[in-house]
Amino acid sequence: MKTALRIVLGLILLAASIAKLSNMSGFVAVLHSYHIFPQGLHWPAAIMISGVELVVGSWLFWGRHLRQAAWTSLVLHSVYACFAAFMLLRNVPILNCGCFGSYLARPLSWMTVGQNLVLVALSLLLARLARPVPPLYTR
C-alpha cells in the first residue's frame, strides 16, 4: 500500500509540476487571477511552487525522504484546498484552477477542494505508513 500511495502521489505532483514548468507564463497568469500575491511576486511564486512540486513528486516517486515528502505533500494540498475554498467563498471566478498549469484548464470548483482534501488524506496515510517501525526487541 505504501508503494502504491507514494507512486500515485508522486506522479500527480510530477505531472502538475511538469505542466506548470512547460508553460510558466501561463501558470503566472493563473496565479495572477487568484489575486493572492503582490505584483512582481507572481514569477517567483510560480517558480517556487513548480520547483517544490517537482522535488517532492520526485522524492515520492522514487521513495526518497519519504516521510518528509509525504508531510510536504500534505501541506501543499492543504494550502491548495484552503486557497480554493477561500476563493470560492469569496465568489471570485477562477476560470482555470491552475492544478496543471495552463494545461487541462478547468474552473475552480468545490470538486477541486474535495480532490485536494483526498490528496491530503492520502498524504497523511503515507506519512503514517512511512514512520520508522520500532524494533520488537531492544537490549
**What pLDDT, on the 0 to 100 scale, is given for residue 139?**
64
pLDDT single digits (tens) 86-124:
989 998 888 888 888 777 778 889 999 999 999 999 999
- How do residues 10-47 score in pLDDT, each as one tens digit? 999 999 999 999 999 989 988 888 888 888 899 999 99
Least confident of 13-17, 39-43, 75-79, 133-137: 133-137
Residue pointed to by grid coordinates 500511495: 5
| Mean pLDDT, all residues of the chain | 89
Q: Show the cell assigned to 120.
A: 491530503
Reduced to 3 states, what is the DSSP secondary structure of residue 45? Answer: helix
DSSP assigned state of 62: H
Task: Tell me the whole-structure pTM to 2 decimals.
Answer: 0.85
Taking alpha carbons only, the member of 96, 62, 56 closest to residue 74 is: 56
